[in-house]
Amino acid sequence: MNAVAEQAALAPSLRIKWATAEWERSAAFALRREIFCEEQGVFEADDRDDIDRFAIALVAVMQDGDGACRVVGTVRIHEDPGAPKTWWGSRLAVDQAYRGRAGGRIGSDLIRLAVSSAHAHGCTRFLANVQSQNALLFQRLHWRSLEEFDLFGRPHHRMEADLEYYPPFDTPQVGFLSRGRG
C-alpha cells in the first residue's frame, strides 16, 4: 500500500444516516442532553419529550482509522400526527469539538438528510423551530422564516424548507459519506 492509500485508510470518515442501531440512538440522546441541558441550559435534566416516542433520529457517525465510531451530530424528524405530509425537524445538535468548519458541514448535512428523507416518505411541507442564532444557516440552505417567537425562553424562527432544493433520498438507513471531515 502506498503512502497516499495508507493515509486515506487512516482518515476519519463521517456518515450521515438514520440511527439504526441502539447505540446510535443512545448516543444521539446523550449528545442532545449534553448540548440542550448542560451546555445551553434550555432543559434541566433531559430534553426528551413525547415526540421522541415516534420521531426518527438521524446521526452523524465519525469513524476513525481504527474503526472506532462515535456520534458527533444528531437531529430528529417526524410526521405531524395532526397534519399528514407535514414533517418537522428538531433538536439539531453537533458535538462542540466538531463545530466550526466541519461542524457547519455536519449540521448542513444532517438538515439535508432530514428534509430529503422526509421528502422521499411523502413530505409536502417541512418545518422547524430554529433558535434565532441558527436562522442564517437555515436561510443559506434554502429555508425561509415564517415568524419569530420565543420558545423555552429563547428567540426562535419558525422556518420552512424549500422542498425543490431537497430531492427525495430513499436510502436514509445507509445515508451518505459527508464531505466534512473531523
The three three-digit cell numbers of residue 143, written as one number: 429555508
What integer pLDDT is reported at residue 181 of this predicted model?
A: 45
pTM of the model: 0.90
What integer pLDDT is reported at residue 65 of this predicted model?
A: 82
Closest CA to 178 of 62, 18, 64: 62
pLDDT bucket at 182, cuts 50 / 70 / 90:
very low
Taking CA atoms, 1 is separated from 87, 90, 95, in Å, by 47, 44, 34
Over residues 159-174, the mean pLDDT reads 97
Residue 78: CB atoms within 10 A of its CB come to 17
User: Which CATH topology does 3-176 take?
Assistant: Aminopeptidase (3.40.630)
How far apart, in whole angstroms, are the C-alpha atoms of residue 90 and residue 110?
A: 11
179: pLDDT strictly greater than 70:
no
High-pLDDT (> 70) share of the chain, %: 90
pLDDT in tens, 95-126: 999 887 555 699 999 999 999 999 999 999 99
What integer pLDDT is reported at residue 67 of this predicted model?
A: 86
Place of cell 424528524: 77
User: Collapsing DSSP states into helix, strand and coil, what is residue 173?
Assistant: coil
